[in-house]
Amino acid sequence: MEYLINRLKEKSLKVTPQRVAIAQTIQKSGHVDIDEIYSIIVKSFPTISLATLYKNINSFLEKNFIVEVPVPNHKTKYELVQDSHAHFICTRCGSIKDISLDENRLLSSVHKDKGLGKFERYSFSLYGNCCSE
């Protein structure tokens, strides 16, 4: 928690109880969507509003404190900005697993021929089905 507060400060995000609660929820869950965050937080923090949640998610995204993880057939999930990794995403149940990777190898797989612009980040996701079917 001290850690999260410091991360918020590093990103010049004012530290409010709501923000700490949101950050903790995302950290604890790993990958969560807005509604999941809301229903978790509202238990310990009954006054929080969805509007506040949306506003903070947007601030967090702008300040690169979190990133979006879009999930087909499900609401977009969010995770804290972390060391690079890939995702295994189940398109049936929407669950996400982190997969470690060799970043150099990954990046060497793209053909940088045609003046590929500079990029700030990347995402690599594998889609499958981890459920019955």
Partner DNA sequence: CTTCATGCAAAAAATTTGCATTTTG
Partner DNA sequence: CAAAATGCAAATTTTTTGCATGAAG
- Rounded Cα distance between 66 and 27, Å, is 10
Among 61, 80, 81, 93, binds a second copy (CB under 8 A): 61
In terms of CB distance, is 10 or 124 closer to DNA?
A: 10
Token code pair at residue 62: 């702008």
Site track for DNA across 94-123, x = CB under 7 A: ------------------------------
With respect to a second copy, which residue has the nearer C-beta, 11 or 24?
A: 11
Residues that bind DNA (CB under 7 A): 9, 13-19, 34-35, 45, 47-52, 54-56, 58-59, 75-76
Residues that bind a second copy (CB under 8 A): 61, 68, 70, 72, 76, 86, 88, 90, 97, 99-103, 105-106, 108-111, 113, 116-130
